Structure 1
Amino acid sequence: MPFLSSVGDVTELYLGTEGVELDESNPENRFRLDWLTTVEEALDEVAAEPTRPLVITATGKFFTNGLDTDHILAAPKALPEYLDRVHALFSKVLTLPVPTVAAINGHAFGAGAMLALCADYRLMRAERGFWSLPEVALGMPFPLGMSSLLRTRLPDQVATEAMLTARRYSAADAHAGGIVEEAVGIDSLLARAREVAAERAPLAGPNLGEVKRNLRQPLIADLQIAYPRTVL
């Protein structure tokens, strides 16, 4: 399960499980219900004492592969509530009162790719791994909140290509397209993420959270719109 760690003046949220490279029960760090609960609680802990910047990362092959499709297929009537919860997670990251840096260590697909976009600054492993929105290839729509997130956080040309073609972006392509700020070798990924986070540490605090909420108010409003209960 995801966990918090500290290195110097930086807090780190790992999306995997402490002590293992891959969690056998959730090796792709998908948004399972228990996984969501643990991440939500970790973010609440960070927000409760907003003095340290946050790096979000993982270990293994995946940053996160996004939605728990097994849960969606097993409980289709629960899809609206599930998507509302995912949208709430995005809002929580977008408005954290501390600087946030995503260190994308591996594949970031679907909602996992969107989670990375919620960070203030993004770095991606240069050697391997893709950032991708496969929804159109899977016959899945983008809810309003997710569409607004992508439209707001990406250049229009890139959002259009990513959403309509399911293209897989390497780190170099993601950097060129403005999806991430830096492509970094795996040996330097966390160190560089910590450096960026530490540079912004003096900005942490309630005022930063207020600035983020005002800056992203239209996006947050769209993320707060409940997913239609008639769409199953």
Structure 2
Amino acid sequence: MTPTLTHHEDIAVLTLGSDENRFSPDRLDAINAHLDEVEQSAKGLVTVGSGKFYSNGLDLDWLMANSDRLDWYVGRIHELFSRVLTFSLPTAAAVNGHAFGGGAMLAMAHDYRVMRDDRGYFCFPEVDINIPFTPGMAALIQAKTTPQTAMTAMSTGHRYPGAEAKEAGLVDATAAEAEIVTAALGRLQPILGKDRTTLGAIKSTMFASVTEALGRGPGGVSL
């Protein structure tokens, strides 16, 4: 299943897919095309997966088959993170299932995160699969968590279930599977209608150091 876009009144709901929702180039193209539409048609954005996964992040099979395009591919991932991080509308990730690696980073790029309370893990497994964080990825995670949570999450590969992810501050709330999108919508509804130029400028200022790091690409890291 490719990404799809629906609307709940003024809020766009972008469903990333129904498989592991890894970031293949085609999926990145589809996500960005939908974000173009959201910027023109909505006042807020919720992203969600379908089934067991929110997103498993980087498409490692594609990357291994196209290792000569590492810089290009990581640059595209970084561009998506930067775009969501500084999106000119309020954003919330409805983490319906597993969010691993780049999938967890995409969730972190949103303004708010709501996670399913009974299944799924929020995890940065890079230390266990021998893939170092790029400087931009590290900056993104550290900008959205406390130093101690960042240290534990990034250096141990700990798998956080919903309640523990909330306690650690990785997500803002938990909800039952059937209520996850509703809960994410509820996070945004009270704050819709802000001037989007101003909101985008505020986010760009808040996260200038992160977007600068993301803009530098892999930074010498070999995945």
TM-score interval, smaller chain: over 0.9
Percent identical among aligned pairs is 38
- Name which of 75, 79, 95 aligns with 1:84: 75
Cα distance, 1:182 vs. partner?
0.2
**Structure 2: segments with no counterpart, 5+ residues:** none
Q: CA–CA distance in 2 between the matches of 1:181 and 1:96?
A: 19
- Name which of 121, 145, 168 aligns with 1:130: 121
Contact 1:52 1:204 in 2 (8 A): no
Where do residues 4-15 of structure 1 align in structure 2 (5 Å cutoff)?
4-15=5-16
Where do residues 18-57 of structure 1 align in structure 2 (5 Å cutoff)?
22=18, 27-47=19-39, 49=40, 51-57=42-48
- Name which of 169, 192, 197 aligns with 1:178: 169
Write out per-residue CA displacement over residues 147-181 of structure 1, whole angstroms, 9 at most, x where no aligned residue. Answer: 11111111111111111111000000000000000
Q: Say yes or no: does 1:150 pair with 2:141.
A: yes
Contact 1:133 1:163 in 2 (8 A): yes
Q: CA–CA distance in 1 between the matches of 2:130 and 2:158?
A: 15
Q: CA–CA distance in 2 between the matches of 1:66 and 1:106?
A: 13
Cα distance, 1:50 vs. partner?
6.6
Amino acid at match of 1:31: F
Q: Which is further off, 31-40 or 191-200?
A: 191-200
Q: Say yes or no: does 1:227 pair with 2:208.
A: no
Distance 1:119 1:204, change over 3 A: farther
Cα distance, 1:231 vs. partner?
4.5
Amino acid at match of 1:5: T
Amino acid at match of 2:131: M
Cα distance, 1:204 vs. partner?
5.0
Distance 1:118 1:174, change over 3 A: same
Q: CA–CA distance in 2 between the matches of 1:163 and 1:229?
A: 19
Amino acid at match of 1:13: L
- Name which of 178, 187, 198 aligns with 1:196: 187
Cα distance, 1:227 vs. partner?
2.5
**Structure 1: segments with no counterpart, 5+ residues:** 17-21
Q: Which is further off, 172-181 or 192-201?
A: 192-201
TM-score normalised by length of structure 1: 0.92
Cα distance, 1:229 vs. partner?
6.9
Aligned equivalent of 1:19: none
Aligned equivalent of 2:58: 67
Q: Say yes or no: does 1:94 pair with 2:95.
A: no
Q: CA–CA distance in 1 between the matches of 2:135 and 2:219?
A: 10
